[in-house]
Amino acid sequence: MSRKPKLLVTRLTPPNVEARIARDYDAAVNPEDIIMTTEELLEKAQGCDAILCSPTEPMPAEVIERLPSSVRMLATFSVGYDQIDVPAATARGIKVGNTPGVLDDATADIAMLCLLGAARMAHNAGTVLRTGAWQRWEPTGLLGVHVTGKRLGIIGMGRIGRALAKRARGFDMEIHYSNRSRLTPELEAGAVYHQDPEEMLPQCDFLSFNCPLTEQTRHFLNRERIALLPDGAVVVNTARGPVVEDAALIEALKSGKIAAAGLDVFEGEPAFDKAYLDLPNAFLLPHIGSATVETRDAMGFKCLDNLDAFFAGRPLPAPVN
Domain ranges of the chain: 6-102+293-311, 104-284
Query: Confidence class of residue 226 from pLDDT cuts 50, 70 and 90?
Result: very high
pLDDT confidence of residue 2: 72
Three-state SS at 300: helix
Question: How far apart are the C-alpha atoms of 108 and 208, rounded to whole Å?
Answer: 10
pLDDT confidence of residue 1: 42
Question: How far apart are the C-alpha atoms of 167 and 112, rounded to whole Å?
Answer: 7
Tell me whether the CATH fold assigned to 6-102+293-311 matches the one assigned to 104-284.
Answer: yes
* Runs of H (alpha helix) within 157-236: 159-169, 185-188, 197-200, 223-226
Name the residue type at position 8: L
Catalytic residue set: 240, 269, 287
CATH fold label, 6-102+293-311: Rossmann fold (3.40.50)
Sign of CA pseudo-dihedral 112, 257, 133, 271: positive
CATH fold label, 104-284: Rossmann fold (3.40.50)
Query: What are the tens digits of pLDDT across the range 171-193?
Result: 999 999 999 999 999 999 999 99
Statement: residue 279 has pLDDT above 90 = yes
Statement: residue 101 has pLDDT above 80 = yes
Query: What are the tens digits of pLDDT across the range 106-128?
Result: 999 999 999 999 999 999 999 99
